[in-house]
Structure 1
Amino acid sequence: MTLTLPRPTTGLRHGTGFWVVAGTFLTAMAYSTVPSPLFPLYMAREGFSTFAVTVVFAAFAIGVVISLVLAGHVSDWAGRKTILLPALGLELVSAVLFLSSTALPVLVIARVVNGLGVGMIAATATAYLADLHTRHRPDASPHRFEVVSTAANIGGLGVGALVAGVLAQYVGAPLRTPYAVLAVLLVISIVLVALTPETVTRRPVPYRPQRISTDHGPGYLVACLGAFASFAVFGVFTSVSPGFVAGELHHPSRTLAGVVVFTVFGGAALAQTVTSGLSLGTRRALGLGAQALGVLLVVAGMYLTSFPAFLVGGAVAGVGAGVQFKASVGAVASMAAPARRGEALAGLFLIAYLGMIAASLSIGLATRYLAPTTVMAWFAVVLLVLSGAVAAMGSANTRVVSRRAR
């Protein structure tokens, strides 16, 4: 008879691993917005137009979409770490490219690689956090997971822009130092994630690209459309708003550019935390209303050449977009079966980043022919129409669910 001894427990436990993955998620998302406050510097050094900047930004979102389609759902059967670690490696490759050159082709390639990594990270890290939360606190509500995952995602976007703006303003080599700092943090994250427990048992599954299906539960399409609207708002502030601040509002400070992006995403993260106790319908209504009001204030600030009005509008829009996106993530995470959670979240992020691409590219292209204030006014109109559609669909879905429950 052979005596089999239990394997010693190695690596970090699930509770600690939860915070390791949250910190890694935040770091990766922070890295993705490092270029935002630096775009005016690239424009001054290389002579880029606003449209060229939006092409660089859209290259990131395109990389995200490609990655989500090809690999965003694979962690459901291949393992969370199997996807997360290579994705972090791609982020490092992107940082090296940014450090090597400021030429437009290199920036586009760097952003595509950055997007490929983020596309793998976004859905995988969110599902990983849900798994670790469940393993650590099996009987607890998902409240902590929802707050931490969305705060790491959205909050990280704000932190990256703020750190990059401050470093660019007060430290030498402004187009290199921010990337070097985040690259070091990414290396630390890779080491810590490697020590975190895996939560998925690998199993052989025939590979197929990500599919967008509506069979994850009632309201999936509503959640995706809400995420599309939210990321359209986020896309505006991470791509063209630093240029608007430096141009239309006459504030060339890189710190101020970073502050605007941080205010948008910081407001989003804070709002996600304080609205956790609200119902899905209430969060959706609050989010849609606030993001529409905020964008209108942004337009007013641009017409009045008022930086305070622009900043307040950005904060309000960020609050709305953050609450709406949190409602979408929470709804999808709860309605999807555990074995398909990564797939469902990958689909959500895919639709969200399509919204980011559509907003940034269309605004960047439109500014070649129209004044930026006019372009933003039209964006506000489109957002109002889209928000109305989400509200109507959400209300109709609620009535259908209520009738089924009777």
Structure 2
Amino acid sequence: MSTRQHAAGRPSHSTAGFVLTIIAIAAAMAASTVSSPFYPQIQGALGLGVVEITVVFAVYPAGLLVTLLVVGSLSDHLGRRAVTSVGLLMLAVSLGLFGWGDSLGALLSARILQGIATALVMSTVSTHMAELAPPALAGRVALANSAGPAAGLAVGALFGGVMLDLASHARTLTFGVVVVVIVIIAALSRLLPETTARMRGLVPSLIPRLRVPHEAAAALLRVTPAIIASWGTGGLFISLGALIARDVFGTQNHTLQGATVGTLAASAMVATIIFWRWSSRALLAIGALALVVGTLTSVAAVLTASTMLYFAMIIVIGVGFGISYAGALRLVLPLVAREDRAGLFSVIYVIAYLSFSVPAVIAGSLISVFGLAPVLIGYGVLVSAAALAALLAQLSGAGRAQGDPEPSRVVS
């Protein structure tokens, strides 16, 4: 028997709502990278070590992962609009704490709260997006869930860097602007159509569980190396990109420091859009190859201190980041029914953010022992190994999805 209080009616499709959910996801991701150019400045102002500043970065995905495990299906019980708006308002509060925080404790609190808020927003809005998409846009759901976050990552990092170079009181002003934007999106989200009938069993749903629908389990396992490689690369550049630009290449320009993240994310977004019509297997294979080539060549750029080569390889790595993840989503999303998407997205985000955070924390801890360049080399080799495993899986034919549906046939 269904646990829903009322039979779920036909989803309320809305083009405007679909666009707003993309904006909400992009804004949440922008909020996660706008702080990246500020890390060296905050580190100096508060007298923090590399390990401490890396922990400030890492508690964000830690809060995000715990929240996904506990309340990943919260919107099934409270409604998509309510969870989205609360998550966005919590995100605004966390950004305020970060913008005005003047101690390690304040920064850690801000980042933990940001992780919790982002988990609520991402897991809920991703599902809401799929339910709001009109039939003509149903095949663009996975594309939006790939390109939207990449666009937000790029805008956030570049905005933070530009503000640091041009504005006085840059930190306060930057986070003030982002807070206002997030609050406006939260208000607009209350106008979206509700697309799910509320379910009973809220308290039991809070018991941590990870469940992949049987029909998607094998496909998700096959694409996991690609998710690890792509998000592991993203974690490196978002946590340490500004520090690499400053300490390896001697760049004091904050916009250029922010561009290390912005370039990677922007190239990921553009590549995702350009190659979207390709099969998921092709996306995964080409993306994995780009990660291998780009990461290993970027190691050479670090060894030779070649700024031009380094930024060229960031573009290549960004292509790999974007289309690997897009290919993974393209392969697994069509395999599950609409009511199973929230849980599947939570599992995908758990894999992604573990890959995003754990290697970056380890790298940050090792920098004080071995130095920045050796750690970057080791990190690059490990990421390349994961990408190579993903590439071999596709070349061997193991990554072929059942039917490998075209984008226009993605279930909505």
Query: Could you tell me the TM-score, scaled by structure 1's length?
Result: 0.91
Cross-structure match for 2:14: 14
Query: Structure 2: which 5+ runs fail to align?
Result: 1-11, 404-412
Amino acid at match of 2:210: R
Distance 2:147 2:270 in 1: 8
- Aligned counterpart in structure 2 of residue 178 of structure 1, from 174, 177, 192: 174
Amino acid at match of 2:126: T
Cross-structure match for 1:111: 111
Cross-structure match for 1:360: 360
Amino acid at match of 1:355: S
SS at match of 2:368: coil
Amino acid at match of 1:172: S
Deviation at 1:368, TM superposition (A): 1.3
Deviation at 1:353, TM superposition (A): 0.1
1:202-241 equivalences in 2 (<5 Å):
202-205=198-201, 206-207=204-205, 208-213=207-212, 215-217=214-216, 218-241=218-241
Cross-structure match for 2:83: 83
Tell me the alpha carbon deviations over residues 29-77 of structure 1, each in whole angstroms, 9 at most, x when there is no partner: 1111111011111122112222222111101111111111112233244
Deviation at 1:115, TM superposition (A): 0.8
Deviation at 1:371, TM superposition (A): 2.4
Contact 1:329–1:345 under 8 Å retained in 2: no
Cross-structure match for 2:384: 384
Distance 1:306 1:400 in 2: 40
Deviation at 1:197, TM superposition (A): 0.6
Deviation at 1:401, TM superposition (A): 4.9
- Aligned counterpart in structure 1 of residue 161 of structure 2, from 159, 165, 176: 165
Contact 1:73–1:210 under 8 Å retained in 2: no
Contact 2:213–2:344 under 8 Å retained in 1: no
SS at match of 1:175: helix
**CA distance 1:215–1:74, change in 2 (3 Å):** farther
Distance 1:173 1:312 in 2: 32
1:250-269 equivalences in 2 (<5 Å):
250-269=250-269
Amino acid at match of 1:155: A
SS at match of 1:109: helix
RMSD: 1.9
Contact 1:168–1:177 under 8 Å retained in 2: no
Tell me the alpha carbon deviations over residues 102-133 of structure 1, each in whole angstroms, 9 at most, x when there is no partner: 31111111111111111122222111111111
Deviation at 1:289, TM superposition (A): 0.8
Contact 2:123–2:342 under 8 Å retained in 1: yes
Amino acid at match of 1:150: S
- The answer to whether 1:242 aligns with 2:242 is yes
Cross-structure match for 2:406: none
Distance 2:243 2:309 in 1: 16
- Aligned counterpart in structure 2 of residue 156 of structure 1, from 130, 152, 156: 152
Tell me the alpha carbon deviations over residues 161-199 of structure 1, each in whole angstroms, 9 at most, x when there is no partner: 111111111011122111101000011101110001111
SS at match of 2:370: coil
Contact 2:268–2:323 under 8 Å retained in 1: yes
Contact 2:29–2:149 under 8 Å retained in 1: yes
Distance 1:40 1:126 in 2: 32
Deviation at 1:354, TM superposition (A): 0.2
Identity value in percent: 26
Distance 2:274 2:149 in 1: 16
Contact 1:287–1:320 under 8 Å retained in 2: yes
Deviation at 1:396, TM superposition (A): 5.5
SS at match of 2:199: coil
1:44-123 equivalences in 2 (<5 Å):
44-123=44-123
Contact 2:17–2:132 under 8 Å retained in 1: yes
Contact 2:37–2:160 under 8 Å retained in 1: yes
**CA distance 1:302–1:392, change in 2 (3 Å):** closer
Amino acid at match of 1:347: V
User: How many equivalent pairs are there?
Assistant: 387
1:36-47 equivalences in 2 (<5 Å):
36-47=36-47
Return 77-86 or 375-384, whichever deviates more: 77-86
Tell me the alpha carbon deviations over residues 345-375 of structure 1, each in whole angstroms, 9 at most, x when there is no partner: 1100111000011221111011111122211
Contact 1:169–1:253 under 8 Å retained in 2: yes
Amino acid at match of 1:89: L
Distance 2:401 2:188 in 1: 45
Cross-structure match for 2:33: 33
Distance 1:393 1:82 in 2: 41
Amino acid at match of 1:152: G
**CA distance 1:92–1:399, change in 2 (3 Å):** closer
Return 62-71 or 325-334, whichever deviates more: 325-334
Distance 2:18 2:402 in 1: 33
Contact 2:263–2:315 under 8 Å retained in 1: yes
Distance 1:314 1:271 in 2: 13
Distance 2:92 2:373 in 1: 37
Cross-structure match for 1:5: none
Return 156-165 or 40-49, whichever deviates more: 40-49
Cross-structure match for 2:4: none
